[in-house]
A = this chain, B = another copy of it.
């Protein structure tokens, strides 16, 4: 089996959420596993001098429309949460505090669903813990070790050039956006 696909995303990113719905089937079609790697878009924005889409003139209005249309296009249940976006530090820490990879993925899916379907504000640490409890996860979001681990993971992502969400790396080749899944599909057949 080839190396896993690295799947970087921010828990507050609608396009990351859409990608999360599709990445496993895509990878499985080509005999690949997926390594989920939540990161913090806010840290990436400091590197690129960018900011959250809704705050950008013209682009912000377009983005809200495109989130909804893209979700319909991909057949994924979605509502634009309120507030949006939110800090995803607590969500990230909860994820990285879990040792078991299947547990991590289960929690990630639950958090994304809570935010983008059930309108739960996962920017609040208390809500992160509630969502985790609902899927029988007991993450730690307070210990210094977990804070350090999370920071190291996010820094490592930036060092690999990750500046957006979703951001997929396959055998060193980077793809930004759920709208690159058509290129990823072809790449996994044969690099072009």
C-alpha spacing A73/B187, complex, angstroms: 9
Evaluate contact between A161 and B69: CB separation under 8 angstroms: no
Evaluate contact between B49 and A174: CB separation under 8 angstroms: no
The complex is assembled from copies of this chain, and their number is 2
C-alpha spacing A73/B183, complex, angstroms: 7
Evaluate contact between A192 and B69: CB separation under 8 angstroms: yes
Evaluate contact between A186 and B58: CB separation under 8 angstroms: no
How far does the Cβ of A58 sit from chain B's closest Cβ, in whole Å? 4
Evaluate contact between B161 and A73: CB separation under 8 angstroms: no
* Binding-face segment, A59-67, A109-117, A139-147: A59-67
Q: Interface residues, chain A, CB within 8 Å of chain B?
A: 44, 47-50, 56-59, 61-62, 65-66, 69-70, 72-73, 158, 161-164, 174, 176-177, 179-180, 182-183, 186, 192
